[in-house]
C-alpha cells in the first residue's frame, strides 16, 4: 500500500516482456471497474483526484502506459503505437481480473477506449471521453507533436511550475501557483541528481511524429460501437483538439450521448472542474 493513500501499486507483463504498472484503488466487486487511461505523456497520477472522488464506491484502476510513470520504457520506440497499447491493455485486463469496465480516457487514453471496442466491446459498460473524439483538430495535433519529446529539466519544483505556467497559461487561465505545482508533480519526477525532469520516455515522439502514423484507425466506427452504452463527452471550452463541431457530430451519431463543456479550459480538463465532475457523476449513475 502506498503511504498515505488508498491505492496499491500493481504490475503486469506485456507480450514483449515489459513490466508495466497500474494503481489499484479498492471498490466493490459487483460493479464495473473505472479504467483510467491518461494522455500521451501523462501517467496514472493524473487520476489522483478522480480516484479520490470515486474509489470505495467503485474500483478504480489507473494505468501507466509503457514508457510512462512507473512502467518500463520500450526497447523499440516504434512500439509506442495504439496497436501495442491495446495489446498491453488486454494483458492488464487479464492480470487485474477486470471483466467489465467504464473506460475513462483523456486524449490518447480516450482514443484507446474507443479502439477497445474492436477487442473488448462486451466488457465495456460505459465510457468517459475527455477532450477527444473521432476527429483530432490539426492545430492541436501539431501543437502536441511540437511539445512531445522536448528535453527540459529544472532545479526545483517551483521552477518547473513557473515554466509550465508560462507555456500553458492559455490552457488553464484561472489556475494559481498551487495548481501549477500539482501539474508539475503529475507530469515530472525528481532524479537522483536532484533535477526535475519529464516522467516519460522522450522516444514516444518518434512514433507520434511519423507521417501517416494514425492511418488505418477508423475512429468513427470505433465510436459508433459505443452506441448501446452510456457515454460522456467532455470538451474544454477553448480546446484545440476537440472542436464543438466534432462533439455535435458525436451527439448526432449517438443520440444518448451526454456532453459537457468546461469553460475557460483548453486541452484537457482535469475532470475535477464542477461541470465535469457533475457530468461524470451523472454518467456513473446511468452505468449503475
pLDDT per position as a tens digit, 243-282: 999 999 999 999 899 999 999 999 999 999 999 999 999 9
Backbone angles phi, psi at 27, to 5 degrees: -165, 175
Backbone angles phi, psi at 174, to 5 degrees: -100, 5
* pLDDT of 84 higher than 70: yes
Report domain extents, the chain. 7-148+217-287, 151-201
* pLDDT of 3 higher than 50: no
Choose from 142-151, 173-182, 210-219 the range with maximum mean pLDDT.
173-182
The pLDDT assigned to 288 comes to 74
Mean pLDDT score across all residues of the chain: 94
The pLDDT assigned to 2 comes to 45
The pLDDT assigned to 151 comes to 81
Other Cβ atoms closer than 10 A to 86 = 16
* pLDDT of 161 higher than 50: yes
pLDDT band of residue 4 (cuts 50, 70, 90) is very low
The pLDDT assigned to 214 comes to 52
The pLDDT assigned to 215 comes to 46
Average pLDDT over residues 130-151: 91
Backbone angles phi, psi at 16, to 5 degrees: -100, 20
User: CA angle, 107 as apex, 154 and 257 as ends, to 5°?
Assistant: 150
Q: Are 24 and 11 in contact (CB under 8 A)?
A: no
Q: How many whole angstroms separate alpha carbon 226 and alpha carbon 221?
A: 9
* pLDDT of 44 higher than 50: yes
* Pairs from 202-206 (Cβ < 8 Å, separation ≥ 24): 202/149, 202/150, 202/151, 203/67, 203/73, 203/74, 203/77, 203/80, 203/149, 204/40, 204/41, 204/67, 204/77, 204/80, 204/148, 204/149, 205/145, 205/148, 205/149, 206/77, 206/78, 206/80, 206/149
pTM summary value: 0.95
Average pLDDT over residues 150-169: 94
Cell of 42: 501523462
Cell of 237: 471550452
Other Cβ atoms closer than 10 A to 222 = 19
Q: How many whole angstroms separate alpha carbon 272 and alpha carbon 47?
A: 10
CATH class of 7-148+217-287: alpha beta
Q: What is the pLDDT of residues 198-226, one digit of tens each?
A: 999 999 999 887 765 554 568 999 999 99
High-pLDDT (> 70) share of the chain, %: 96
Amino acid at each position: 500500500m502506498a503511504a498515505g493513500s488508498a491505492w496499491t501499486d500493481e504490475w503486469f507483463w506485456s507480450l514483449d516482456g515489459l513490466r508495466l504498472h497500474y494503481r489499484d484503488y479498492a471498490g466493490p466487486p459487483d460493479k464495473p471497474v473505472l479504467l483510467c487511461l491518461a494522455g500521451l505523456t501523462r501517467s496514472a497520477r493524473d487520476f489522483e483526484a478522480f480516484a479520490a472522488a470515486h474509489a470505495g464506491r467503485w474500483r478504480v484502476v489507473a494505468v501507466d502506459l509503457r514508457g510512462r510513470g512507473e512502467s518500463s520504457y520500450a526497447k523499440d520506440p516504434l512500439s509506442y503505437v495504439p496497436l501495442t497499447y491495446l495489446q498491453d491493455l488486454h494483458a492488464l485486463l487479464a492480470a487485474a481480473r477486470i471483466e467489465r469496465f467504464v473506460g475513462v480516457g483523456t486524449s490518447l487514453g480516450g482514443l484507446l477506449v474507443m479502439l477497445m471496442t474492436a477487442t473488448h466491446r462486451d466488457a465495456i459498460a460505459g465510457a468517459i471521453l475527455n477532450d477527444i473524439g473521432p476527429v483530432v483538430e490539426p492545430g492541436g495535433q501539431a501543437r502536441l507533436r511540437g511539445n512531445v519529446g522536448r528535453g527540459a529539466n529544472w532545479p526545483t519544483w517551483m521552477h518547473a511550475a513557473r515554466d509550465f505556467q508560462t507555456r500553458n497559461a492559455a490552457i488553464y487561465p484561472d489556475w494559481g501557483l498551487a495548481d501549477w505545482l500539482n501539474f508539475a508533480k503529475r507530469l515530472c519526477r525528481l532524479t537522483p541528481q536532484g533535477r526535475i525532469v519529464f516522467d516519460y520516455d522522450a522516444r514516444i515522439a518518434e512514433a507520434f511524429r511519423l507521417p501517416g502514423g494514425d492511418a488505418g484507425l477508423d475512429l468513427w466506427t470505433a465510436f459508433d460501437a459505443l452506441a448501446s452504452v452510456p457515454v460522456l463527452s467532455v470538451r474544454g471550452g477553448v480546446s484545440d483538439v476537440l472542436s464543438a463541431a466534432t462533439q455535435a457530430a458525436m451527439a448526432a451519431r449517438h443520440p444518448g450521448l451526454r456532453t459537457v463543456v468546461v469553460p475557460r479550459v483548453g486541452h484537457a480538463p482535469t475532470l475535477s472542474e464542477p461541470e465535469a465532475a457533475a457530468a461524470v457523476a451523472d454518467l456513473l449513475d446511468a452505468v449503475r
